[in-house]
């Protein structure tokens, strides 16, 4: 009885396997195709088809096919309902949800430039407006947001979609360089390379588009290999290292230790980062953008509102900074906090981190007080902000 049940189960599993399996042929005579179909019972599939949600095709992935990726990202944004989140909250969602959806496709194909540009624009619009569509000009340029923290970039290390796509595909170059024991590498060596040195190899004109793109990426990354090692190191290639190698390097900023701080509240870090780039919507910037006519500071009502005035020159901010100085027993003015951090002198590590977190928190509180004064015409007492 047990043998009969096992036999029936085996037949049933084989039937399910045949119903869910397609077979594809290329350059095979029709007689052989008929024999294989008759023996296996599989169906003849047609390209393109989907595998694990990714379109598989012998031709180039078009902008129209990549639009499905854009639609999924847009649907996810609308499902998140994050319009009322802070900038820091939306930043985390962009990094953890939206960017990973693009990375899945980008690890297989060199996507269309229009699709990559659209992914960047959707992430940018969501970060600054909470929607997928364009509402207003972003406070900070997207390229600046994608630079590392030490160079004054975004607080969570956002990635440029185009460069990240190339860095993901750089792993195939590493397979060729290090001769990984993969079936696909063996097949490539047998069909395409045929013993040729991988650095000097160029793709034939009649090969598939995917292989041409891989060779195009290889020509970019081969400069990073010395003695068949990535950057002449024993450490193997990683996508993060490839992305850093591709991008343009910038000078490190002196205030990076203040907003890149383990004790900082994320929203405090984000506001401080934007203030250091002078990209908060103060009245002087709003006039340049054609979005207002008021110029006088909402807090003091005396001088024009700029970043320098609001956070350091306004009487309200001076009181806040003086209270912070007294509270932390600082021997220097709070305006010199960046210089103090950059020199590396003074207190111990934990004290410095705590001091920086308090300073960034006061900057956020001043900005919050300014917004309340603008909207509600109320101003919090300065000593409340530093307690």
| 3-class SS letters over 43-79 | EECCCCEEECCEEECCCCCCHHHHHHHHHHHHHHHHH
The reported pLDDT for the residue numbered 133 is 77
- Tokens for 75, please give them: 């649907």
The reported pLDDT for the residue numbered 155 is 63
Alpha-carbon distance of 212 to 208, in angstroms, equals 7
Alpha-carbon distance of 57 to 231, in angstroms, equals 34
**Residues 154 and 253 sit within 8 Å (Cβ to Cβ):** no
**Residues 270 and 145 sit within 8 Å (Cβ to Cβ):** no
Q: What angle do CA 79, 82, 88 make, to 5 degrees?
A: 140
The reported pLDDT for the residue numbered 12 is 46
348 or 373: which leads in pLDDT: 373
Residue (of 133, 13, 153) closest to 77 by Cα position: 133
Alpha-carbon distance of 272 to 360, in angstroms, equals 6
User: How confident is residue 58, by pLDDT bands cut at 50, 70 and 90?
Assistant: low
Q: What angle do CA 118, 124, 130 make, to 5 degrees?
A: 115
Averaging pLDDT over each range in 50-54, 211-215, 347-351, which range is the top one? 211-215
Reported pTM:
0.77
Cα dist from 67 to 72, 74, 76, 99, 105, whole Å:
9, 10, 14, 16, 12
The reported pLDDT for the residue numbered 156 is 64
Provide the 3-class DSSP secondary structure of residue 175: helix
**Residues 113 and 125 sit within 8 Å (Cβ to Cβ):** no
Q: What is the pLDDT of the chain when averaged over all its residues? A: 81
The reported pLDDT for the residue numbered 362 is 92
Query: Across residues 139-147, what is the average pLDDT?
Result: 85
**Residues 327 and 319 sit within 8 Å (Cβ to Cβ):** no
Residue-wise pLDDT for 182-228, tens only, equals 787 787 778 777 778 888 888 888 787 888 888 888 888 888 888 87
Long-range contacts of 372-381 (CB under 8 A, 24+ apart): 373/298, 373/299, 374/298, 379/299, 379/316
- What does DSSP say about strands 49-51 and 54-56: parallel, antiparallel, or unpaired? antiparallel
End-to-end CA distance of the chain: 79
- Tokens for 189, please give them: 């060596």
Cα dist from 168 to 58, 122, 146, 270, whole Å:
20, 20, 16, 28
Residue (of 343, 340, 334) closest to 363 by Cα position: 334
- Tokens for 201, please give them: 């190899």
Residue-wise pLDDT for 294-332, tens only, equals 889 988 888 999 999 999 899 899 988 888 888 888 877
Residue (of 59, 88, 54, 56) closest to 72 by Cα position: 54
């Amino acid at each position: 009885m047990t043998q009969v049940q096992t036999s029936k189960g085996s037949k049933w599993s084989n039937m399910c396997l045949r119903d869910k399996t397609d077979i594809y042929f290329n350059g095979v005579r029709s007689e052989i195709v008929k024999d294989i179909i008759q023996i296996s019972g599989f169906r003849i599939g047609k390209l393109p088809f989907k595998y694990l949600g990714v379109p598989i095709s012998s031709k180039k992935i078009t902008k129209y096919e990549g639009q499905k990726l854009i639609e999924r990202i847009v649907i996810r944004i609308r499902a998140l309902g994050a319009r009322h989140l802070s900038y820091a909250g939306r930043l985390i969602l962009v990094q953890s949800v939206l960017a990973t959806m693009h990375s899945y496709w980008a690890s297989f194909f060199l996507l269309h430039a229009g699709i990559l540009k659209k992914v960047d624009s959707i992430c940018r619009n969501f970060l600054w407006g909470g929607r997928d569509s364009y509402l207003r000009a972003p406070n900070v340029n997207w390229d600046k947001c994608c630079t590392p923290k030490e160079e004054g970039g975004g607080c969570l290390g956002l990635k440029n979609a185009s460069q990240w796509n190339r860095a993901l595909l750089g792993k195939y170059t590493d397979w060729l360089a290090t001769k990984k024991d993969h079936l696909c590498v063996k097949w490539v060596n047998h069909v395409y390379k045929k013993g040729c040195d991988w650095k000097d190899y160029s793709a034939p004109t009649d090969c598939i588009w995917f292989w041409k793109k891989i060779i195009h990426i290889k020509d970019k990354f081969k400069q990073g290999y010395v003695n068949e090692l990535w950057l002449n190191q024993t450490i193997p290639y990683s996508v993060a290292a490839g992305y850093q190698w591709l991008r343009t390097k910038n000078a490190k900023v002196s205030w990076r230790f203040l907003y890149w701080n383990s004790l900082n509240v994320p929203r405090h870090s984000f506001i401080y980062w934007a203030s250091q780039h002078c990209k908060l919507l103060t009245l002087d910037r709003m006039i340049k953008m054609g979005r207002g006519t008021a110029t006088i500071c909402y807090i003091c009502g005396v001088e024009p509102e700029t970043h320098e005035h609001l956070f350091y020159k306004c009487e309200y901010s001076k009181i806040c900074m003086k209270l912070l100085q007294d509270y932390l027993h600082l021997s220097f003015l709070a305006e010199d906090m960046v210089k103090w951090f950059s020199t590396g002198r003074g207190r111990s590590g934990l004290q410095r981190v705590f001091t920086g977190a308090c300073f960034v928190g006061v900057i956020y509180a001043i900005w919050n007080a300014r917004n309340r004064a603008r909207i509600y015409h109320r101003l919090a007492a300065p000593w409340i902000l530093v307690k």
